[in-house]
Amino acid sequence: MTPARRVLNTMHQSIVGVLVAAAMSSEVPVWGQTAASGTLQEFEAHITDYLKLRQDLGSKLQPLSTAADGTDLAARQAALTAAIRAARRTAKPGDVIPPSVARLIVAAIVQDIEKRGPQASRAIFEEIPPVAALAVNRDYPAEAALATMPPLLLSTLPELPESLQYRFLGRSIVIMDVDTELIIDYVPDVLPTR
C-alpha cells in the first residue's frame, strides 16, 4: 500500500467513524448538518467571494453571452481569463476549498470508488487526462478533453454554482471556472494510482 493510499485510508476511517457515531446518535450526517457546524459555510463564503470578484470583473467587459462568432467568443474569454488571473495572482491551494471540506471531498470519492466494480472505475479513469503540474490560476489543459464527472459521485459533493465545476485532472480534483477553464482551486491526490 502506498503512503498516499495509507493516508487516504486513515482519513476514510476517521470520517466513517464520525459518520457512524452521528448515525448512532440518530442524526444522519448530511451536507446541511456539516454546514451548520461551519465546515461548508466557510467553503460557501469562499465561493461567494470568487463569484463576486468574477462578476465585478466581468461587468467591465463585454458579456460572453452576446458574442457574435467564434473569434469574438475567444477574445472575450481571453479578456475575462486575464482579468481573473491578475486579480487572483496570489491565490494558492486551500483559498477556496478549506482543508475540512477537502477531507470530506476525499472521503466521498473514496466511498464512491469502493462501491463501484472494476469496470465502472475504469470507465471513470479512462477519460481523465494526465497533467504534468497542477497550480491554481493555470488553465485546464486546452488540448485535453474534460473528463466526465460520474453523476452519482457528483451528487455527493458540495454543490457548486453553474459557473464552476468539479473535474478530475491527473489524480486530483479541481474546481474549474466553466467559462475561462481556469483552475481556481484543487485537492491533490484524491484518486488512487492506476
Interface residue list for other proteins (CB under 8 A): 64-65, 67-71, 73-75, 77, 120, 123, 127, 142-143, 145-155, 159, 162, 165, 178-179, 181
CA dist list (Å): 158 to 46, 132, 166, 182: 13, 27, 10, 19
Question: Which of 19/178 has CB closer to other proteins?
Answer: 178
CB of 149 to other proteins, least distance (A): 6
Residue 165, beta-bridge partner list: 176
Question: Which of 2/62 has CB closer to other proteins?
Answer: 62
Ramachandran sector of residue 189 (left: φ over 0; alpha: ψ -120 to 50; beta: rest): left
* Rounded Cα distance, 187 and 98, in Å: 10
CB of 161 to other proteins, least distance (A): 10
CB of 187 to other proteins, least distance (A): 18
Reduced to 3 states, what is the DSSP secondary structure of residue 86? helix
CB of 17 to other proteins, least distance (A): 27
Question: Which of 41/62 has CB closer to other proteins?
Answer: 62
* Rounded Cα distance, 26 and 32, in Å: 15
